């Protein structure tokens, strides 16, 4: 269920994006260059060349550098997500979409020219280095647990630490590294821009994960003596936690947008299967056990679409939407997982076969319930807010 576009410009753009994904991108889903660690650099380049020729590269950022509103962006990114390869081709994928948003908001003019422009043009990829290995007590869902440090030395910053689940690090040209600055109980964090690859930023291995849509996969990283000049501090020193919030709410919402598109497509495929295949003398859809699952899908998809648009409207109103994005991430990721699970069930053996994209969508959505904060962390945060609000009455 893809809700109508809120403006004429977003409707026209969303329709063009959907046509491109359906006609050009979807045929590549069976390409052998789609690997367990994401599409290869060659495939990414090929898809982006076609998107560029179609005038659809990074469609949510307009030629003058301005952005669509969040509500307009939702209309476009939902359509880009109709294939797991759609966001890759159109440059609306994570982590680049969130990194471009952050750079556009707080980067200096020189930083935008050097680091942002190649990303917007789709000629470079990026990575966001925040999550750290749990066995070392590092930051996961709680960024205040950062162990990676940045220390001043001879007019530069020296960064040391380890990171994990760093999406797209393998093959990225731009990195945003989050590190502790200062020491003690009230140590702050700072974000640093880094040119990649860099000898001080070493990929120990690319992790084998359940999902496979993002170029470069998810890497375990060692940072050893990385020297960064002041000119590559993103924003202000010690403001990394605040900037993380600026990035995370829109980024987790854009995840919801893209995966709504993918799950709507899975529902299309399951519906086509159920309305053409017979069992026990009638179409599958005429068996209540199947027809009711498809009906439940429609309900969940519609609710997810409305939740996304509600949160987008809150962001457009100037709020950071921390609470609203947590609510939306929980509701949408759980609803979309139910939809994807039902699609697999409706299709039976075909649903678990990689002959259909339904199997991949199921895997991707399952991972999404963890990425950008597990459901339980968001609920815990919401519960704390409920307690605070009750105490303030």
Q: List the domain boundaries for the chain.
A: 8-105+113-120, 126-238, 241-387
Answer yes or no: CATH 1.10.10.10 is held by domain 241-387.
no
Task: Report the C-alpha gap between 345 and 254 in whole angstroms.
Answer: 27
Quick one: pLDDT band at residue 4, thresholds 50, 70, 90?
A: confident
Alpha helices in the chain (DSSP H): 8-20, 41-53, 70-80, 86-90, 96-106, 109-111, 117-120, 240-274, 288-316, 322-347, 349-352, 358-368, 375-392
Residue 66, judged by CB atoms within 10 A of its CB (0-12, 13-18, 19+), counts as: exposed
Q: What is 126-238's CATH topology?
A: Butyryl-CoA Dehydrogenase, subunit A; domain 2 (2.40.110)
Q: What is 8-105+113-120's CATH topology?
A: Butyryl-Coa Dehydrogenase, subunit A; domain 1 (1.10.540)
* Residue 30 DSSP code: G
In this predicted structure, the answer to whether residue 139 has a pLDDT above a threshold of 80 is no
**SS3 label, residue 269:** helix
**SS3 label, residue 267:** helix
Question: In terms of Cα–Cα distance, which of 373, 367, 139 is closest to 251?
Answer: 373
44 neighbors 93 (Cβ within 8 angstroms): no
Residue 137 vs residue 115, higher pLDDT: 115
Quick one: pLDDT band at residue 294, thresholds 50, 70, 90?
A: very high
What percent of the chain lies above the pLDDT cut of 70? Answer: 96
The pLDDT value recorded for residue 135 is 75
Count of all residues that appear for the chain in the document: 393
Contacts of residues 69-72 at CB distance under 8 Å and 24 or more positions apart, as own/partner, are: 69/6, 69/7, 69/312, 69/316, 70/250, 70/253, 70/311, 70/312, 70/313, 70/315, 70/316, 71/6, 71/10, 71/309, 71/312, 71/313, 71/316, 72/5, 72/6, 72/7, 72/9, 72/10, 72/13
The arithmetic mean of pLDDT across residues 161-176, rounded, is: 97
Task: Report the C-alpha gap between 198 and 177 in whole angstroms.
Answer: 13
The arithmetic mean of pLDDT across residues 190-216, rounded, is: 97
Omega before residue 197 within 30° of 0, cis: yes
In this predicted structure, the answer to whether residue 256 has a pLDDT above a threshold of 80 is yes
Model confidence, pTM: 0.92
343 neighbors 269 (Cβ within 8 angstroms): yes
Quick one: pLDDT band at residue 63, thresholds 50, 70, 90?
A: confident
Quick one: pLDDT band at residue 172, thresholds 50, 70, 90?
A: very high
Return the axis-axis angle of helices 70-80 and 8-20, rounded to nearest 10°.
20
The pLDDT value recorded for residue 181 is 93
Task: Report the C-alpha gap between 217 and 225 in whole angstroms.
Answer: 24
Mean pLDDT score across all residues of the chain: 94
Torsion sign, CA atoms 137, 140, 143, 149: positive
Q: Which two tokens stand for residue 118?
A: 């190649």
């Amino acid at each position: 269920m893809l809700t109508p576009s809120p403006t004429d410009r977003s409707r026209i753009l969303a329709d063009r994006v959907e046509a491109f994904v359906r006609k050009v991108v979807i045929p590549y889903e069976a390409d052998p260059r789609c690997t367990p660690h994401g599409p290869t650099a060659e495939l990414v380049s090929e898809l982006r060349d076609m998107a560029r020729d179609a005038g659809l590269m990074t469609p949510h950022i307009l030629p003058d550098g301005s952005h669509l509103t969040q509500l307009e962006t939702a209309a476009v990114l939902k359509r880009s997500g109709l294939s797991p390869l759609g966001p890759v081709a159109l440059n609306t994928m994570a982590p680049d979409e969130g990194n471009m948003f952050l750079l556009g908001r707080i980067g200096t003019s020189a930083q935008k020219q050097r680091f942002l422009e190649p990303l917007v043009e789709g000629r470079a990829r990026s990575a966001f280095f925040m999550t750290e290995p749990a066995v070392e007590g590092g930051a996961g869902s709680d960024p205040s647990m950062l162990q990676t440090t940045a220390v001043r030395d001879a007019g530069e910053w020296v960064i040391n630490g380890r990171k994990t689940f760093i999406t797209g690090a393998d093959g990225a040209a731009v990195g945003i590294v989050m590190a502790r600055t200062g020491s003690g109980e009230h140590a702050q964090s700072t974000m640093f821009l880094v040119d990649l690859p860099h000898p001080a930023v070493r990929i120990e291995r690319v992790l084998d994960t359940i999902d496979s849509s993002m170029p470069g996969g998810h890497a375990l990283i060692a940072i050893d003596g990385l020297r960064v000049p002041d000119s590559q501090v993103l924003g202000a020193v010690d403001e990394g936690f605040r900037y993380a919030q600026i990035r995370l709410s829109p980024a987790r919402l854009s995840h919801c947008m893209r995966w709504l598109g993918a799950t709507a497509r899975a529902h299309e495929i399951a519906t086509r299967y159920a309305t053409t295949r017979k069992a026990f003398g009638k179409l599958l859809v005429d068996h209540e056990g199947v027809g009711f699952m498809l009906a439940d899908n429609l309900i969940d998809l519609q609710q997810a679409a409305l939740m996304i648009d509600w949160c987008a409207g809150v962001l457009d109103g100037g709020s950071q939407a921390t609470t609203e994005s947590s609510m939306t991430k929980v509701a949408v990721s759980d609803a979309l997982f139910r939809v994807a699970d039902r699609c697999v069930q409706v299709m039976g053996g075909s649903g678990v076969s990689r002959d259909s994209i339904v199997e991949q969508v199921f895997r991707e959505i399952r991972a999404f319930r963890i990425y950008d904060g597990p459901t339980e962390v968001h609920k815990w945060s919401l519960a704390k807010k409920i307690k605070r609000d009750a105490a303030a009455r």
